[in-house]
Structure 1
Amino acid sequence: MEAGLSFSAADLAQTRFAVSPMWEVVTSFRLLRGTEGEPPLHRRWAAQVWPRLAEAGLDRGWLAALIPERGYLADFLNPTPMTPFPTLTAELDAIRQTPAERVQTELDMLDAERDPGRSPRIRLLREAPEAALQKVAAEIEAYWELALAPYWDRIRQLLEADVFHRARQVAEHGAGQVLSELHETVRWDDGTLRLVHRHCALSRSEAGAGLLLVPSAFAWPRVLTRSVPPDPPQLAYPARGIGTLWEPRSTGSIDAVAAVLGRSRTLLLAELDTPASTTQLAAQFGLSAAGVSQHLTALRGAGLVTAHRAGRSVLYARTAVADALMTPADRPAGGR
């Protein structure tokens, strides 16, 4: 199946990029619950995250009702980003404000691909959309804290690097070439963006002006689209460098950093390449939980770690500042 999105000069002028937290929520959740085997590029991340989601019941909640393993998913989960780098809070506010008629329309589209009315959550969305959307937003916040927040610095760096690279390519080679290089199923052909993809449904007659391009860490190996007039169409595509996203970050400067922070805190930073709790870190290093907590509090105060609630535990993760600090001076952060 091939879909074509025609461009006028005005459409091309309104084409822009955005990094969207909600696109990462949608694509990562779909990847986690897929039935096509373990996601090879994201196996390390999925092995850490899936047990937390199952324990919290998030594998069978609102997101599971609205994001099938394949096919159409509810478009109101991906509101149009109003800035290049919107916050999750801003996108959740937009979701909560989705008009009831749009919710009904999109639920009809979901039901067209599944057994209609089989989910009590879908029925509640139909009967009381305003109250149900509050519950959807609350579950997204819980999912974010468990699955994405501890890793967001790393993911955001990848997505922002993609945007800056492609913006530079637009300046050097023009938008047509950049559009052709987004994905193997996307090509620019004489004023039309053509998509060859089973689930793409994108045409200018069904979309608003311009085009919004959204790099995603979890969309691979396909592209996803959203077309809800009068909003501009959105195309989420795999970001460059996904293969290196979960590679362990270099810690070759431990001795140099330890001279400033102390060895215990530096070793904790090195270990937090993978998010971990105080209990896990205490067991790993043979330290008391109180001692580890004191070190983590100091590191958090210095902006080197972040804390994220995961059920009864708190997960600590290294920030981008700490990644740069732990990377040898002669190598770029992330080894790229």
Structure 2
Amino acid sequence: MGSSRQKGCTVLDLAFSVRDLARTRFALSPLWEVVASIRVLKHPAEHPLYRRWSDEAGRRLAASGLDWGLLADLVPQPPLAIPVFIAPPPTTSVADLGLELAVLRSTPAEQVRSGLGGRRAPRSERIERLRSDPFRGLAELADTVAAYWEIALAPYWPRVRSLLEGDVLHRARVFAESGAQALLNDLGTNVTWDDDTLYVGHHYARGRRALGGRGLLLVPSAFVWPRVFSVTSPAWQPTLRYPPRGVATLWERRTELPQNLASVIGRSRAHLLAELDTPASTTDLARRTGITAGGVSQHLTALRAAGLVDAHRSGRYVLYVRTEAAEVLLAAAHAQRDEVNVPPSG
């Protein structure tokens, strides 16, 4: 396959062996979502798909007073490259930010200096301090990531994680029904499989890379659309980060009240769950729903006790979000409604 099939892009050729196919797997990476979201937040006008999130997260970060300058410096604009060590490919399939931050903190000093010394590495005074004292700099970086996560991403994580896990389940079904070729051909319009090679339309990486029997780690990422990102450095597992199915609808507002759910948990509580498609305060919910602030608080307490709502503090505000259990419950309610409303055939 020639690069002419990938117009406007260079082509990265990932050569597979039988062993590579056998070792290809999926994983989620909260740490990478932090890094990818930084790209969006630094240049929101270039990422209109995420504008709703970037507006909300930007306001909360400004109100928090968090200094995330080092993190921002480490996520540069192309053609400079993001150093791999700040979000290395995860070693397990479980989405665990704490484990990923532990790996980040323990990165060898020489790996840090090497990652920051390349021709395409970002440069700044903060980065130079990290390079001169990796132990202290990595601790600062990990603390910043943890604080950024709590403010900008944790309130949205149940919804994002549900999308990512749904994508993995879909692709697992594709593999079970049609095999590895169909799976690898289904990763996006700029990714194609042919003759034991995965061809990736890429903005900067090019040439042929043999996976060397290590397999390919596939990481769906909510903040990379419409691009894909790759890791092919010998020190890490070869990795492809790609946009999941349905990412364009992730930040759409859906507040349709599922009547079938309302009949079970009550109209007010169902209404609140429907409104919590993005994090909101008690005041926001009272304004949107017409329920008194006291009533909203009582219903949220009940929903939280049932494991359907969680709370996150953002500066002076407490923001409420749906849990993964609530996402599943709402999805089932909508699916059941759609099934009931399907007209009979014939």
TM-score by shorter chain over 0.5? yes
Query: Structure 1 257/187 Cα, relative in aligned 2: closer, same or farther at 3 Å?
Result: closer
For the 8 Å contact 1:309–1:315, the answer to whether it is kept is: yes
1:302 is aligned to 2:306: yes
1:24 is aligned to 2:33: yes
1:55 is aligned to 2:60: no
Following superposition, the deviation at residue 247 of structure 1 comes to 2.5
Cα distance in 2 for residues equivalent to 1:187 and 1:60: 37
1:246 is aligned to 2:255: no
Following superposition, the deviation at residue 225 of structure 1 comes to 1.0
Cα distance in 1 for residues equivalent to 2:315 and 2:54: 17
User: Which 5+ residue runs of structure 1 have no aligned equivalent?
Assistant: none
1:172 is aligned to 2:180: no
Query: Structure 1 297/13 Cα, relative in aligned 2: closer, same or farther at 3 Å?
Result: same
Query: Structure 1 202/160 Cα, relative in aligned 2: closer, same or farther at 3 Å?
Result: farther
For the 8 Å contact 2:257–2:271, the answer to whether it is kept is: no
For the 8 Å contact 1:23–1:236, the answer to whether it is kept is: no
Cα distance in 1 for residues equivalent to 2:102 and 2:258: 42
Following superposition, the deviation at residue 51 of structure 1 comes to 1.4
Matched residues, number: 326
The residue number in structure 2 matching 1:78 is 87
1:278 is aligned to 2:282: yes
**1:29-48 Cα distance to aligned partner (Å, 9 max, x none):** 1122126x252322222222
Following superposition, the deviation at residue 257 of structure 1 comes to 4.2
**1:178-234 Cα distance to aligned partner (Å, 9 max, x none):** 223312322223222222312225753687721101111111111101233243211
> Which TM-score applies when normalising by structure 2?
0.84
1:45 is aligned to 2:49: no
| Matched position secondary structure for 2:252 | coil
Following superposition, the deviation at residue 23 of structure 1 comes to 2.0
The residue number in structure 1 matching 2:269 is 265
Q: How does 1:289-328 map to 2 (within 5 A)?
A: 289=293, 291-326=295-330, 327-328=333-334
Q: For 1:330, give the aligned amino acid.
A: R
Cα distance in 1 for residues equivalent to 2:292 and 2:158: 28
| Matched position secondary structure for 1:5 | strand
Cα distance in 2 for residues equivalent to 1:113 and 1:131: 20
Q: For 2:61, give the aligned amino acid.
A: L
| Matched position secondary structure for 2:217 | strand
For the 8 Å contact 2:115–2:121, the answer to whether it is kept is: no
The residue number in structure 1 matching 2:217 is 212
Query: Structure 1 48/240 Cα, relative in aligned 2: closer, same or farther at 3 Å?
Result: same
Following superposition, the deviation at residue 95 of structure 1 comes to 0.8
Alignment RMSD, CA only? 2.6
1:330 is aligned to 2:337: yes
User: Which 5+ residue runs of structure 2 have no aligned equivalent?
Assistant: 1-9, 340-346
> Which TM-score applies when normalising by structure 1?
0.86
Q: How does 1:98-109 map to 2 (within 5 A)?
A: 98-109=107-118
Cα distance in 2 for residues equivalent to 1:58 and 1:165: 38
Following superposition, the deviation at residue 285 of structure 1 comes to 5.3
Query: Structure 1 13/259 Cα, relative in aligned 2: closer, same or farther at 3 Å?
Result: closer
Query: Structure 1 146/202 Cα, relative in aligned 2: closer, same or farther at 3 Å?
Result: farther
| Matched position secondary structure for 2:81 | coil
For the 8 Å contact 1:207–1:232, the answer to whether it is kept is: no
Following superposition, the deviation at residue 270 of structure 1 comes to 2.9
For the 8 Å contact 2:255–2:275, the answer to whether it is kept is: no
Query: Structure 1 219/243 Cα, relative in aligned 2: closer, same or farther at 3 Å?
Result: same
| Matched position secondary structure for 2:117 | helix
The residue number in structure 1 matching 2:238 is 233
Query: Structure 1 169/229 Cα, relative in aligned 2: closer, same or farther at 3 Å?
Result: same
The residue number in structure 2 matching 1:10 is 19
Cα distance in 1 for residues equivalent to 2:207 and 2:282: 48
Query: Structure 1 181/293 Cα, relative in aligned 2: closer, same or farther at 3 Å?
Result: same
Cα distance in 1 for residues equivalent to 2:211 and 2:95: 25
Following superposition, the deviation at residue 105 of structure 1 comes to 0.8
Q: For 1:222, give the aligned amino acid.
A: R
For the 8 Å contact 1:209–1:232, the answer to whether it is kept is: yes
Following superposition, the deviation at residue 58 of structure 1 comes to 5.0
Identity %: 51
**1:283-327 Cα distance to aligned partner (Å, 9 max, x none):** 555666555434322221111111112112121011233234443
Q: For 1:213, give the aligned amino acid.
A: L
| Matched position secondary structure for 2:31 | helix
Q: For 2:337, give the aligned amino acid.
A: D
Q: For 2:107, give the aligned amino acid.
A: T
